[in-house]
Chains A and B, each alone.
Chain A
Amino acid sequence: GAVVSQHPSRVICKSGTSVKIECRSLDFQATTMFWYRQFPKQSLMLMATSNEGSKATYEQGVEKDKFLINHASLTLSTLTVTSAHPEDSSFYICSAHTHKGDDEAFFGQGTRLTVV
């Protein structure tokens, strides 16, 4: 299967600072990338959909000014959590999707964010 690399895998930051998470498709071009969030002991919830070269589409209840998504190339999307607070502590995971071939999406390893 295709490889999606997400970095960092873990990050601890102070309240009020911003954190950037990268999602890279290593061996294919991802026309669309998805960002999910998972609170402890809960399911994965879609936060936003990003298409290369255009603005991200956010799910209801997700603050677009707080979770900035940039999909500047076909292999890289970034999620920036701005002015992070302890309630933003969560597991963030991306998936990269190509419309070619088998219409599959491939997940990154996830990023565990802790805001102290």
Chain B
Amino acid sequence: AQKVTQAQTEISVVEKEDVTLDCVYETRDTTYYLFWYKQPPSGELVFLIRRNSFDEQNEISGRYSWNFQKSTSSFNFTITASQVVDSAVYFCALSRYNQGGKLIFGQGTELSVKP
């Protein structure tokens, strides 16, 4: 069975702090995709990243970075120098490699960045 766990339900930080959102996943597949999405209060899902299981390199995109550790089945997301606009619910998700559209979501982490 596949499962995604985001243990942090809510995180509150002050602007300019760095914050890491944790994601741990379970799968018996050797090949799979991992995702992060941002869901602002308006509700739409904003795609942030998709990573396939072959590629364990960490990725940086502006203030965002992701740490994929296959050995610990984790795919953590760090926001550097957080801003108020980063306030949202963030979801980590998993899909099977040949089912790229069928996502299993974690419970989500609600991030609140205060000025």
Q: Which residues of A approach B to under 8 Å, CB–CB?
A: 1, 32, 34, 42-46, 49, 91, 93, 95-97, 102-107, 109-110, 112
CB-nearest residue of chain B relative to A45?
B105
Check A93–B103 contact: CB distance below 8 A.
no
Check A97–B100 contact: CB distance below 8 A.
yes
- Count the B residues whose beta carbon is within 8 Å of the partner chain — how many? 16
Q: Which residues of B approach A to under 8 Å, CB–CB?
A: 43-45, 47, 50, 91, 98, 100-108
Q: How far is the CB of B57 from chain A (nearest CB, A)?
A: 18
- Residues on A with beta carbons closer than 8 Å to the beta carbon of B104: 46
Check B50–A91 contact: CB distance below 8 A.
no
- Residues on A with beta carbons closer than 8 Å to the beta carbon of B98: 103
Check B45–A104 contact: CB distance below 8 A.
no
- Beyond the given A49-B102, A97-B100, A102-B100, please list 16 additional residue pairs across the A-B interface where CB-CB is below 8 A: A1-B47, A32-B101, A44-B105, A45-B105, A91-B43, A93-B43, A93-B45, A95-B101, A95-B103, A96-B101, A97-B101, A104-B100, A105-B101, A105-B103, A110-B43, A112-B43
